[in-house]
Structure 1
Amino acid sequence: MAAPICENCTKGTKLPGKPTGNMVNIGGIDTYVAPPPRPLAPGNEHKAVVIFTDALGLPLGNSQIIADGFAKELNLPVYVPDMFNGSPPISPEAMSSVDHFEVGKPRPFWNKLRFYGLLLTILPNIILYNAPGKVAARMQGWCDALRKEKGVERLGAVGHCYGGMVIVKLAALRSGILQAAVVAHPGSIKQEEIDKVDFPCAWATCQEDQSFPQPFAKQVEKSFQARDDKTKVPYEFVYYPGTMHGFAARPALHVPEIREAFEKVTEQSWKWLQKYL
Protein backbone atom coordinates (compact mmCIF):
# COMPACT_ATOMS: atom_id res chain seq x y z
CA MET A 1 0.00 0.00 0.00
CA ALA A 2 1.26 3.49 -0.86
CA ALA A 3 2.01 5.97 1.90
CA PRO A 4 -1.03 8.07 2.92
CA ILE A 5 0.90 11.27 2.16
CA CYS A 6 3.20 12.33 -0.65
CA GLU A 7 5.81 15.05 -1.09
CA ASN A 8 3.20 17.55 -2.27
CA CYS A 9 1.18 17.02 0.91
CA THR A 10 3.92 19.00 2.64
CA LYS A 11 3.80 21.94 0.22
CA GLY A 12 1.37 24.73 -0.41
CA THR A 13 0.28 28.24 0.49
CA LYS A 14 -1.81 29.65 3.30
CA LEU A 15 -4.97 31.36 2.04
CA PRO A 16 -5.43 35.05 2.83
CA GLY A 17 -8.08 36.15 5.29
CA LYS A 18 -9.33 34.94 8.64
CA PRO A 19 -12.07 32.41 9.44
CA THR A 20 -15.33 34.01 10.57
CA GLY A 21 -17.09 30.98 12.08
CA ASN A 22 -16.70 29.42 15.49
CA MET A 23 -15.65 26.23 17.22
CA VAL A 24 -18.11 23.71 18.65
CA ASN A 25 -17.80 20.19 20.01
CA ILE A 26 -19.60 17.40 18.18
CA GLY A 27 -19.31 13.84 19.38
CA GLY A 28 -16.31 14.78 21.50
CA ILE A 29 -14.43 16.21 18.51
CA ASP A 30 -13.58 19.90 18.12
CA THR A 31 -15.30 21.18 15.00
CA TYR A 32 -15.27 24.45 13.12
CA VAL A 33 -18.69 25.56 11.89
CA ALA A 34 -19.38 28.20 9.27
CA PRO A 35 -23.03 29.20 9.70
CA PRO A 36 -25.28 30.08 6.74
CA PRO A 37 -25.62 33.84 6.30
CA ARG A 38 -29.38 33.75 5.65
CA PRO A 39 -32.37 31.76 6.90
CA LEU A 40 -32.42 28.29 5.43
CA ALA A 41 -34.61 27.71 2.39
CA PRO A 42 -37.61 25.41 2.86
CA GLY A 43 -36.44 21.82 2.55
CA ASN A 44 -32.88 22.60 3.63
CA GLU A 45 -33.47 22.52 7.38
CA HIS A 46 -31.86 19.10 7.74
CA LYS A 47 -28.97 19.47 5.28
CA ALA A 48 -25.33 20.19 6.06
CA VAL A 49 -21.89 20.01 4.45
CA VAL A 50 -18.65 18.70 5.91
CA ILE A 51 -15.15 19.48 4.68
CA PHE A 52 -12.60 16.78 5.39
CA THR A 53 -9.19 18.40 5.51
CA ASP A 54 -5.76 17.65 4.15
CA ALA A 55 -3.00 16.33 6.43
CA LEU A 56 -2.41 19.79 7.93
CA GLY A 57 -5.86 19.78 9.50
CA LEU A 58 -7.35 22.78 11.27
CA PRO A 59 -4.16 24.61 12.34
CA LEU A 60 -3.38 25.90 8.83
CA GLY A 61 -6.75 27.66 8.60
CA ASN A 62 -7.34 27.09 4.89
CA SER A 63 -10.19 24.64 5.38
CA GLN A 64 -12.04 27.07 7.64
CA ILE A 65 -11.71 29.87 5.09
CA ILE A 66 -12.93 27.53 2.35
CA ALA A 67 -15.84 26.49 4.60
CA ASP A 68 -16.84 30.14 5.06
CA GLY A 69 -17.07 30.50 1.28
CA PHE A 70 -19.12 27.32 0.96
CA ALA A 71 -21.55 28.42 3.68
CA LYS A 72 -22.06 31.74 1.93
CA GLU A 73 -22.58 30.18 -1.49
CA LEU A 74 -24.72 27.21 -0.44
CA ASN A 75 -26.46 28.92 2.48
CA LEU A 76 -26.02 25.78 4.56
CA PRO A 77 -24.03 25.07 7.73
CA VAL A 78 -20.57 23.83 6.83
CA TYR A 79 -18.57 21.85 9.36
CA VAL A 80 -14.84 21.12 9.49
CA PRO A 81 -14.09 18.43 12.10
CA ASP A 82 -10.65 18.02 13.63
CA MET A 83 -9.96 14.70 11.93
CA PHE A 84 -6.69 14.31 13.82
CA ASN A 85 -7.82 15.11 17.37
CA GLY A 86 -5.46 18.05 17.77
CA SER A 87 -2.42 16.28 16.33
CA PRO A 88 -2.29 16.60 12.53
CA PRO A 89 0.51 14.70 10.81
CA ILE A 90 1.94 17.89 9.29
CA SER A 91 2.19 21.26 11.03
CA PRO A 92 1.87 24.61 9.20
CA GLU A 93 5.47 25.33 10.19
CA ALA A 94 6.61 22.23 8.29
CA MET A 95 4.81 23.25 5.11
CA SER A 96 7.02 24.52 2.31
CA SER A 97 6.00 26.50 -0.77
CA VAL A 98 9.38 26.27 -2.54
CA ASP A 99 8.29 24.74 -5.85
CA HIS A 100 4.84 23.36 -5.15
CA PHE A 101 3.33 24.26 -8.50
CA GLU A 102 6.23 23.89 -10.92
CA VAL A 103 4.52 21.18 -12.94
CA GLY A 104 6.75 19.10 -15.16
CA LYS A 105 10.02 20.21 -13.60
CA PRO A 106 12.26 17.68 -11.84
CA ARG A 107 12.50 18.06 -8.08
CA PRO A 108 15.82 19.33 -6.75
CA PHE A 109 17.62 16.57 -4.89
CA TRP A 110 17.65 18.55 -1.65
CA ASN A 111 13.85 18.82 -1.84
CA LYS A 112 13.60 15.05 -1.94
CA LEU A 113 15.94 14.76 1.03
CA ARG A 114 13.85 17.28 2.92
CA PHE A 115 10.68 15.29 2.28
CA TYR A 116 12.15 11.96 3.34
CA GLY A 117 13.55 13.56 6.47
CA LEU A 118 10.16 15.06 7.24
CA LEU A 119 8.47 11.75 6.50
CA LEU A 120 10.46 10.09 9.27
CA THR A 121 8.93 12.55 11.74
CA ILE A 122 5.42 12.16 10.30
CA LEU A 123 5.11 8.38 10.12
CA PRO A 124 4.95 7.73 13.89
CA ASN A 125 1.99 10.12 14.14
CA ILE A 126 0.19 8.37 11.30
CA ILE A 127 0.97 4.84 12.45
CA LEU A 128 0.06 5.41 16.10
CA TYR A 129 -2.83 7.89 15.89
CA ASN A 130 -3.87 8.88 12.41
CA ALA A 131 -3.69 5.91 10.09
CA PRO A 132 -6.29 6.25 7.32
CA GLY A 133 -8.49 3.52 8.78
CA LYS A 134 -8.40 5.09 12.23
CA VAL A 135 -9.27 8.53 10.88
CA ALA A 136 -12.12 7.12 8.78
CA ALA A 137 -13.58 5.30 11.81
CA ARG A 138 -13.22 8.49 13.85
CA MET A 139 -15.07 10.46 11.18
CA GLN A 140 -17.77 7.80 10.95
CA GLY A 141 -18.46 8.40 14.64
CA TRP A 142 -18.39 12.14 14.06
CA CYS A 143 -20.92 11.91 11.22
CA ASP A 144 -23.24 9.83 13.38
CA ALA A 145 -22.93 12.37 16.19
CA LEU A 146 -23.62 15.26 13.80
CA ARG A 147 -26.86 13.63 12.70
CA LYS A 148 -27.95 12.99 16.27
CA GLU A 149 -26.90 16.32 17.79
CA LYS A 150 -27.77 18.65 14.91
CA GLY A 151 -30.67 16.84 13.27
CA VAL A 152 -28.83 16.39 9.96
CA GLU A 153 -30.53 14.02 7.55
CA ARG A 154 -28.64 14.74 4.34
CA LEU A 155 -24.90 15.25 4.57
CA GLY A 156 -22.69 16.35 1.69
CA ALA A 157 -18.91 16.19 1.87
CA VAL A 158 -15.87 17.72 0.22
CA GLY A 159 -12.54 16.02 0.81
CA HIS A 160 -9.12 17.40 -0.03
CA CYS A 161 -6.07 15.10 -0.11
CA TYR A 162 -6.26 13.04 3.11
CA GLY A 163 -9.90 14.08 3.39
CA GLY A 164 -10.68 12.77 -0.07
CA MET A 165 -9.28 9.43 1.00
CA VAL A 166 -11.52 9.56 4.08
CA ILE A 167 -14.64 10.06 1.95
CA VAL A 168 -13.94 6.89 -0.02
CA LYS A 169 -13.11 4.90 3.10
CA LEU A 170 -16.37 6.07 4.74
CA ALA A 171 -18.24 4.67 1.74
CA ALA A 172 -16.41 1.37 2.22
CA LEU A 173 -17.24 1.29 5.94
CA ARG A 174 -21.01 1.66 5.66
CA SER A 175 -23.70 2.76 3.26
CA GLY A 176 -25.68 5.90 3.99
CA ILE A 177 -23.08 7.98 5.84
CA LEU A 178 -22.92 10.53 3.01
CA GLN A 179 -25.51 11.57 0.43
CA ALA A 180 -23.20 13.42 -2.00
CA ALA A 181 -19.50 14.19 -2.18
CA VAL A 182 -16.65 15.86 -4.03
CA VAL A 183 -13.25 14.14 -3.90
CA ALA A 184 -10.31 16.39 -4.79
CA HIS A 185 -6.88 14.81 -5.42
CA PRO A 186 -7.36 12.09 -2.76
CA GLY A 187 -4.73 10.20 -0.83
CA SER A 188 -4.09 6.53 -1.46
CA ILE A 189 -7.32 4.59 -2.13
CA LYS A 190 -8.11 1.18 -3.60
CA GLN A 191 -10.45 0.27 -6.42
CA GLU A 192 -12.41 -2.08 -4.15
CA GLU A 193 -13.08 0.84 -1.81
CA ILE A 194 -14.13 3.09 -4.68
CA ASP A 195 -16.55 0.41 -5.85
CA LYS A 196 -18.47 0.92 -2.57
CA VAL A 197 -19.27 4.58 -3.34
CA ASP A 198 -23.07 4.62 -3.49
CA PHE A 199 -23.79 8.36 -3.69
CA PRO A 200 -23.34 11.04 -6.35
CA CYS A 201 -19.61 11.69 -6.43
CA ALA A 202 -17.57 14.29 -8.31
CA TRP A 203 -13.82 14.02 -8.71
CA ALA A 204 -11.21 16.73 -9.25
CA THR A 205 -7.91 15.46 -10.60
CA CYS A 206 -4.62 17.19 -11.33
CA GLN A 207 -1.79 16.85 -13.79
CA GLU A 208 0.82 15.59 -11.33
CA ASP A 209 -0.32 13.49 -8.40
CA GLN A 210 1.67 10.69 -6.79
CA SER A 211 -1.33 9.60 -4.71
CA PHE A 212 -3.96 9.64 -7.49
CA PRO A 213 -2.05 9.64 -10.79
CA GLN A 214 -3.86 10.17 -14.07
CA PRO A 215 -3.66 6.52 -15.23
CA PHE A 216 -5.43 5.41 -12.04
CA ALA A 217 -7.90 8.31 -12.24
CA LYS A 218 -8.86 7.20 -15.74
CA GLN A 219 -9.24 3.61 -14.49
CA VAL A 220 -11.55 4.83 -11.72
CA GLU A 221 -13.61 6.85 -14.18
CA LYS A 222 -14.01 3.78 -16.40
CA SER A 223 -15.14 1.79 -13.36
CA PHE A 224 -18.00 4.25 -12.83
CA GLN A 225 -18.89 4.06 -16.52
CA ALA A 226 -18.98 0.27 -16.34
CA ARG A 227 -21.34 0.02 -13.37
CA ASP A 228 -24.62 -1.78 -13.88
CA ASP A 229 -28.05 -0.29 -13.23
CA LYS A 230 -28.05 -1.50 -9.63
CA THR A 231 -24.77 0.17 -8.64
CA LYS A 232 -24.77 3.17 -11.00
CA VAL A 233 -24.52 6.63 -9.40
CA PRO A 234 -24.09 10.13 -10.86
CA TYR A 235 -20.42 11.02 -11.22
CA GLU A 236 -18.07 13.40 -12.98
CA PHE A 237 -14.32 13.68 -13.43
CA VAL A 238 -12.83 17.11 -14.02
CA TYR A 239 -9.16 17.33 -14.96
CA TYR A 240 -7.25 20.49 -14.06
CA PRO A 241 -4.11 20.82 -16.23
CA GLY A 242 -1.10 22.61 -14.85
CA THR A 243 -1.88 21.59 -11.27
CA MET A 244 -0.36 19.32 -8.66
CA HIS A 245 -1.71 17.42 -5.67
CA GLY A 246 -2.96 19.96 -3.13
CA PHE A 247 -4.13 22.76 -5.43
CA ALA A 248 -7.74 22.64 -4.17
CA ALA A 249 -6.67 23.10 -0.54
CA ARG A 250 -3.36 25.00 -0.51
CA PRO A 251 -3.29 26.95 -3.80
CA ALA A 252 -0.60 29.41 -4.82
CA LEU A 253 -2.99 32.21 -5.71
CA HIS A 254 -0.18 34.39 -7.04
CA VAL A 255 0.12 31.98 -9.98
CA PRO A 256 -2.72 32.88 -12.41
CA GLU A 257 -3.18 29.30 -13.69
CA ILE A 258 -3.46 27.97 -10.14
CA ARG A 259 -5.81 30.73 -9.03
CA GLU A 260 -8.09 29.92 -11.96
CA ALA A 261 -7.99 26.18 -11.19
CA PHE A 262 -8.75 26.82 -7.52
CA GLU A 263 -11.72 29.00 -8.42
CA LYS A 264 -13.00 26.40 -10.87
CA VAL A 265 -12.67 23.44 -8.48
CA THR A 266 -14.45 25.44 -5.80
CA GLU A 267 -17.27 26.21 -8.23
CA GLN A 268 -17.36 22.55 -9.28
CA SER A 269 -17.87 21.59 -5.63
CA TRP A 270 -20.62 24.15 -5.04
CA LYS A 271 -22.55 23.13 -8.14
CA TRP A 272 -22.30 19.42 -7.39
CA LEU A 273 -23.64 19.83 -3.86
CA GLN A 274 -26.37 22.22 -5.02
CA LYS A 275 -27.50 19.62 -7.54
CA TYR A 276 -27.31 16.43 -5.48
CA LEU A 277 -27.61 17.36 -1.82
Structure 2
Amino acid sequence: MSFIPLSPCCLTGAKLTGMPRGVFQPAVEGQRKVARYHAKPSDGEVVDGKVALVFLTDAFGLSLPNPKIMADAFADQLKINVFVPEYIINPPPAEVFDSVAPIYPNQFPNRSFFAGLKLFIEVLWKTWRWLPMLLFPKRQVPLAQSSINDLTSEGYTSLALVGYCRGGSMIQYLLSNPANTTLVGGVICHPGAEKETWGKIDRPTWWHMADHDQMFGQKAIDGMREVFGKKREDEGVDFECVVHKDTVHGFACRPTLDHEPTKTAFEEANTSAVRFCKKYLLGEFED
Protein backbone atom coordinates (compact mmCIF):
# COMPACT_ATOMS: atom_id res chain seq x y z
CA MET A 1 0.00 0.00 0.00
CA SER A 2 1.33 3.43 -0.91
CA PHE A 3 1.30 6.30 1.58
CA ILE A 4 -0.26 9.15 -0.41
CA PRO A 5 -0.21 8.56 -4.18
CA LEU A 6 0.79 11.93 -5.64
CA SER A 7 -0.89 13.23 -8.77
CA PRO A 8 -1.55 16.69 -10.26
CA CYS A 9 -4.91 16.83 -8.50
CA CYS A 10 -3.45 16.39 -4.99
CA LEU A 11 -0.38 18.61 -5.08
CA THR A 12 0.20 22.29 -5.80
CA GLY A 13 3.89 23.18 -5.70
CA ALA A 14 5.00 21.70 -2.39
CA LYS A 15 1.56 21.91 -0.76
CA LEU A 16 -0.73 18.92 -0.53
CA THR A 17 -4.30 19.79 -1.43
CA GLY A 18 -7.45 18.33 0.03
CA MET A 19 -9.62 18.85 3.07
CA PRO A 20 -8.23 17.62 6.42
CA ARG A 21 -10.92 15.75 8.33
CA GLY A 22 -9.41 15.82 11.81
CA VAL A 23 -10.13 18.31 14.56
CA PHE A 24 -8.06 21.07 16.11
CA GLN A 25 -7.95 20.80 19.89
CA PRO A 26 -6.93 24.07 21.59
CA ALA A 27 -4.94 24.24 24.79
CA VAL A 28 -7.15 24.06 27.87
CA GLU A 29 -5.92 25.41 31.20
CA GLY A 30 -5.46 22.64 33.72
CA GLN A 31 -6.09 19.95 31.10
CA ARG A 32 -3.97 20.34 27.95
CA LYS A 33 -0.93 22.62 27.71
CA VAL A 34 -0.31 22.35 23.96
CA ALA A 35 -2.88 22.75 21.20
CA ARG A 36 -2.89 20.00 18.57
CA TYR A 37 -4.51 18.52 15.50
CA HIS A 38 -6.10 15.13 16.17
CA ALA A 39 -6.62 12.65 13.33
CA LYS A 40 -8.62 9.45 13.65
CA PRO A 41 -9.15 6.63 11.13
CA SER A 42 -11.83 7.59 8.62
CA ASP A 43 -13.95 4.59 9.64
CA GLY A 44 -13.64 5.51 13.33
CA GLU A 45 -12.17 2.11 14.22
CA VAL A 46 -9.12 2.48 16.50
CA VAL A 47 -7.30 -0.81 17.09
CA ASP A 48 -5.66 0.30 20.34
CA GLY A 49 -6.70 3.35 22.30
CA LYS A 50 -3.55 3.31 24.44
CA VAL A 51 -1.07 3.92 21.61
CA ALA A 52 -0.64 6.91 19.31
CA LEU A 53 1.61 8.46 16.71
CA VAL A 54 2.91 11.97 17.39
CA PHE A 55 3.67 13.90 14.20
CA LEU A 56 6.20 16.72 14.77
CA THR A 57 6.06 19.29 11.99
CA ASP A 58 8.78 21.27 10.30
CA ALA A 59 9.34 24.93 11.19
CA PHE A 60 6.17 25.97 9.33
CA GLY A 61 4.01 24.12 11.83
CA LEU A 62 0.31 23.87 11.10
CA SER A 63 0.35 26.84 8.73
CA LEU A 64 0.54 24.37 5.82
CA PRO A 65 -2.14 21.75 5.13
CA ASN A 66 0.47 19.01 4.67
CA PRO A 67 0.81 17.87 8.31
CA LYS A 68 -2.94 17.51 8.70
CA ILE A 69 -3.41 15.62 5.44
CA MET A 70 -0.45 13.36 6.23
CA ALA A 71 -1.73 12.75 9.77
CA ASP A 72 -5.06 11.65 8.32
CA ALA A 73 -3.20 9.21 6.04
CA PHE A 74 -1.21 7.79 8.97
CA ALA A 75 -4.42 7.35 10.99
CA ASP A 76 -6.08 5.46 8.14
CA GLN A 77 -3.16 3.13 7.53
CA LEU A 78 -2.37 2.42 11.17
CA LYS A 79 -5.90 2.57 12.63
CA ILE A 80 -4.67 4.57 15.61
CA ASN A 81 -4.92 8.11 16.91
CA VAL A 82 -2.45 10.59 15.41
CA PHE A 83 -1.61 13.92 17.05
CA VAL A 84 0.15 16.92 15.52
CA PRO A 85 1.11 19.25 18.39
CA GLU A 86 1.34 22.99 17.83
CA TYR A 87 4.77 23.23 19.43
CA ILE A 88 5.72 26.14 17.13
CA ILE A 89 3.60 29.21 17.84
CA ASN A 90 3.05 31.70 15.00
CA PRO A 91 5.35 29.96 12.49
CA PRO A 92 6.80 31.80 9.49
CA PRO A 93 4.95 31.61 6.16
CA ALA A 94 6.51 28.86 4.06
CA GLU A 95 6.21 30.75 0.79
CA VAL A 96 8.55 33.52 1.93
CA PHE A 97 11.48 31.10 1.56
CA ASP A 98 10.56 29.87 -1.92
CA SER A 99 13.12 32.05 -3.69
CA VAL A 100 16.11 30.78 -1.69
CA ALA A 101 15.11 27.28 -0.56
CA PRO A 102 15.00 24.96 -3.60
CA ILE A 103 12.64 22.01 -3.46
CA TYR A 104 14.96 19.86 -5.56
CA PRO A 105 18.70 20.05 -6.39
CA ASN A 106 19.80 22.62 -8.93
CA GLN A 107 16.37 24.22 -9.15
CA PHE A 108 18.02 27.55 -9.95
CA PRO A 109 20.92 26.54 -12.25
CA ASN A 110 21.34 29.91 -13.99
CA ARG A 111 21.13 32.17 -10.95
CA SER A 112 24.26 34.23 -10.33
CA PHE A 113 25.92 34.54 -6.94
CA PHE A 114 24.91 38.20 -6.62
CA ALA A 115 21.30 37.51 -7.61
CA GLY A 116 21.14 34.77 -5.01
CA LEU A 117 22.70 37.02 -2.37
CA LYS A 118 20.17 39.76 -3.10
CA LEU A 119 17.28 37.33 -2.70
CA PHE A 120 18.78 35.95 0.51
CA ILE A 121 19.02 39.43 2.03
CA GLU A 122 15.43 40.14 1.04
CA VAL A 123 14.30 36.95 2.78
CA LEU A 124 16.27 37.85 5.92
CA TRP A 125 14.56 41.24 5.98
CA LYS A 126 11.15 39.59 5.79
CA THR A 127 11.85 36.88 8.35
CA TRP A 128 14.14 38.48 10.96
CA ARG A 129 11.47 38.14 13.66
CA TRP A 130 11.54 34.34 13.27
CA LEU A 131 15.33 33.96 13.27
CA PRO A 132 15.64 33.10 16.99
CA MET A 133 13.14 30.27 16.51
CA LEU A 134 14.83 29.03 13.34
CA LEU A 135 18.38 29.22 14.71
CA PHE A 136 17.81 27.78 18.19
CA PRO A 137 15.78 24.54 18.12
CA LYS A 138 16.14 24.02 21.87
CA ARG A 139 13.63 26.81 22.35
CA GLN A 140 10.89 24.55 21.01
CA VAL A 141 11.77 21.56 23.21
CA PRO A 142 9.65 22.63 26.24
CA LEU A 143 6.42 22.78 24.22
CA ALA A 144 7.26 19.56 22.37
CA GLN A 145 7.88 17.91 25.74
CA SER A 146 4.63 19.30 27.12
CA SER A 147 2.73 17.78 24.20
CA ILE A 148 4.13 14.38 25.16
CA ASN A 149 3.26 14.97 28.81
CA ASP A 150 -0.30 15.84 27.80
CA LEU A 151 -0.77 12.52 26.03
CA THR A 152 0.85 10.54 28.83
CA SER A 153 -1.45 12.16 31.38
CA GLU A 154 -4.42 11.22 29.18
CA GLY A 155 -3.55 7.54 29.49
CA TYR A 156 -1.48 6.81 26.39
CA THR A 157 1.12 4.21 27.31
CA SER A 158 3.11 3.96 24.05
CA LEU A 159 3.91 6.76 21.64
CA ALA A 160 5.89 6.67 18.41
CA LEU A 161 7.33 9.85 16.94
CA VAL A 162 7.72 10.91 13.34
CA GLY A 163 9.36 14.27 12.69
CA TYR A 164 10.35 16.39 9.74
CA CYS A 165 13.09 19.06 9.66
CA ARG A 166 12.64 20.88 12.98
CA GLY A 167 10.37 18.05 14.12
CA GLY A 168 13.24 15.62 13.50
CA SER A 169 15.40 17.76 15.76
CA MET A 170 12.73 17.58 18.44
CA ILE A 171 12.73 13.79 18.28
CA GLN A 172 16.44 13.71 19.04
CA TYR A 173 15.90 15.78 22.18
CA LEU A 174 12.79 13.91 23.29
CA LEU A 175 14.36 10.47 22.88
CA SER A 176 17.47 11.57 24.75
CA ASN A 177 15.34 12.30 27.83
CA PRO A 178 15.18 9.08 29.91
CA ALA A 179 12.05 10.36 31.66
CA ASN A 180 10.05 9.89 28.45
CA THR A 181 9.26 6.26 29.15
CA THR A 182 6.16 6.22 26.93
CA LEU A 183 8.23 6.90 23.79
CA VAL A 184 9.11 3.75 21.85
CA GLY A 185 11.32 5.48 19.25
CA GLY A 186 11.04 7.60 16.17
CA VAL A 187 11.36 8.15 12.45
CA ILE A 188 13.54 11.20 11.79
CA CYS A 189 13.34 12.91 8.39
CA HIS A 190 15.94 15.48 7.22
CA PRO A 191 16.50 17.04 10.68
CA GLY A 192 19.09 19.36 12.08
CA ALA A 193 22.10 17.57 13.57
CA GLU A 194 21.58 17.70 17.34
CA LYS A 195 24.82 15.83 18.00
CA GLU A 196 24.81 16.29 21.76
CA THR A 197 21.74 14.05 22.02
CA TRP A 198 23.02 11.05 20.08
CA GLY A 199 24.92 9.35 22.87
CA LYS A 200 21.84 9.52 25.12
CA ILE A 201 19.34 7.88 22.75
CA ASP A 202 18.72 4.21 23.56
CA ARG A 203 15.55 3.58 21.54
CA PRO A 204 14.98 2.66 17.87
CA THR A 205 15.47 5.38 15.28
CA TRP A 206 15.03 5.22 11.52
CA TRP A 207 16.52 8.16 9.64
CA HIS A 208 15.66 9.48 6.17
CA MET A 209 18.17 12.00 4.91
CA ALA A 210 18.63 14.17 1.82
CA ASP A 211 21.90 13.95 -0.07
CA HIS A 212 21.83 17.72 -0.79
CA ASP A 213 21.09 19.08 2.68
CA GLN A 214 22.91 22.15 3.95
CA MET A 215 21.63 21.47 7.48
CA PHE A 216 22.86 17.88 7.74
CA GLY A 217 25.75 17.23 5.36
CA GLN A 218 27.64 14.05 4.58
CA LYS A 219 30.13 14.54 7.41
CA ALA A 220 27.30 14.74 9.93
CA ILE A 221 25.58 11.72 8.36
CA ASP A 222 28.80 9.72 8.66
CA GLY A 223 29.13 10.73 12.32
CA MET A 224 25.52 9.84 13.07
CA ARG A 225 25.90 6.46 11.38
CA GLU A 226 29.01 5.74 13.43
CA VAL A 227 27.33 6.57 16.75
CA PHE A 228 24.10 4.68 16.11
CA GLY A 229 25.75 1.84 14.25
CA LYS A 230 27.85 1.18 17.34
CA LYS A 231 24.74 1.30 19.54
CA ARG A 232 23.15 -1.30 17.28
CA GLU A 233 26.17 -3.58 17.52
CA ASP A 234 26.90 -3.14 21.23
CA GLU A 235 23.44 -2.62 22.71
CA GLY A 236 21.04 -4.03 20.11
CA VAL A 237 19.35 -0.64 19.58
CA ASP A 238 17.56 -0.75 16.23
CA PHE A 239 18.85 1.81 13.74
CA GLU A 240 18.37 2.42 10.05
CA CYS A 241 19.55 5.24 7.82
CA VAL A 242 18.54 5.90 4.22
CA VAL A 243 20.08 8.76 2.24
CA HIS A 244 17.75 9.60 -0.61
CA LYS A 245 19.53 10.46 -3.81
CA ASP A 246 18.94 13.73 -5.63
CA THR A 247 16.85 15.29 -2.84
CA VAL A 248 17.03 18.39 -0.67
CA HIS A 249 15.93 19.33 2.83
CA GLY A 250 12.14 19.05 3.15
CA PHE A 251 11.42 16.21 0.70
CA ALA A 252 9.46 14.05 3.19
CA CYS A 253 6.88 16.67 4.15
CA ARG A 254 6.84 19.17 1.28
CA PRO A 255 7.21 17.13 -1.93
CA THR A 256 6.94 18.41 -5.48
CA LEU A 257 5.56 16.89 -8.66
CA ASP A 258 8.29 18.63 -10.63
CA HIS A 259 10.92 16.15 -9.47
CA GLU A 260 10.51 12.38 -9.60
CA PRO A 261 13.25 11.50 -7.05
CA THR A 262 11.57 13.79 -4.51
CA LYS A 263 8.17 12.14 -5.02
CA THR A 264 9.78 8.72 -4.62
CA ALA A 265 11.65 9.75 -1.46
CA PHE A 266 8.47 11.24 0.04
CA GLU A 267 6.68 7.94 -0.50
CA GLU A 268 9.54 5.80 0.83
CA ALA A 269 10.11 7.87 3.98
CA ASN A 270 6.46 7.94 5.02
CA THR A 271 5.83 4.31 4.13
CA SER A 272 8.83 3.56 6.35
CA ALA A 273 7.15 5.50 9.17
CA VAL A 274 4.07 3.31 8.79
CA ARG A 275 6.24 0.18 9.02
CA PHE A 276 8.02 1.56 12.09
CA CYS A 277 4.74 2.15 13.90
CA LYS A 278 3.39 -1.26 12.99
CA LYS A 279 6.53 -2.84 14.45
CA TYR A 280 7.05 -0.79 17.61
CA LEU A 281 3.52 0.35 18.47
CA LEU A 282 1.36 -2.47 17.21
CA GLY A 283 3.76 -5.41 17.41
CA GLU A 284 3.25 -6.39 13.77
CA PHE A 285 6.41 -7.98 12.41
CA GLU A 286 7.10 -8.51 8.73
CA ASP A 287 7.77 -12.00 7.47
What is the TM-score normalised by the length of structure 2?
Answer: 0.82
The alpha carbon displacement at 1:59 in A equals 0.8
CA distance change for structure 1 residues 103 and 74 in 2, over 3 Å: closer, same or farther? Answer: farther
Distance 1:241 1:55, change over 3 A: same
1:132 aligned to which of 134, 137, 140: 137
Matched-pair contact (CA < 8 Å) for 2:37–2:83: yes
Q: Secondary structure at the match of 1:29?
A: coil
Aligned to 2:194: 189
SS class of match (1:212): coil
Question: Mean Cα displacement is larger for which, 218-227 or 106-115?
Answer: 106-115
d(CA) in 2 for partners of 1:96, 1:128: 19
Distance 1:65 1:115, change over 3 A: farther
Structure ID, larger Rg: 2
- Aligned-pair distance for 1:199? 1.4
1:267 aligns with 2:271: yes
Letter aligned with residue 46 of structure 2: L
RMSD between superposed Cα atoms in Å: 2.4
Contact 1:182 1:201 in 2 (8 A): yes
In structure 1, the residue corresponding to 2:163 is in which secondary structure?
Answer: strand
1:192-247 Cα shifts (integer Å, max 9, x gaps) = 31121121110001110111112211221121121277754111001210111100
Alignment of structure 1 residues 124-163 onto 2, 5 Å: 124-127=129-132, 131-149=136-154, 151-163=155-167
**Is the Cα–Cα contact under 8 Å of residues 97 and 123 in structure 2 kept in the other structure?**
no
After superposing on structure 2, the runs of 4+ consecutive aligned residues of structure 1 that deviate more than 6 Å are none
Residues matched between the structures, number: 260
Pairwise CA distance, 1:19? 1.2
Deviation of 1:25 after TM superposition, in Å, equals: 2.8
* Cα distance change on mapping 1:229 and 1:263 into 2, 3 Å: closer
The code of the aligned residue for 1:144 comes to N
Alignment partner, residue 46 of structure 2: 40
Identity of aligned pairs, percent?
Answer: 31
Alpha-carbon offset, residue 273 of structure 1: 1.4
**Counterpart in the other structure of 2:69:** 65
CA distance 1:217–1:106, shift in 2 (3 Å): farther
In the alignment, what sits opposite 1:21? 22
TM-score (norm 1): 0.85
Unaligned regions of 5+ residues in structure 2, if any?
1-12, 282-287
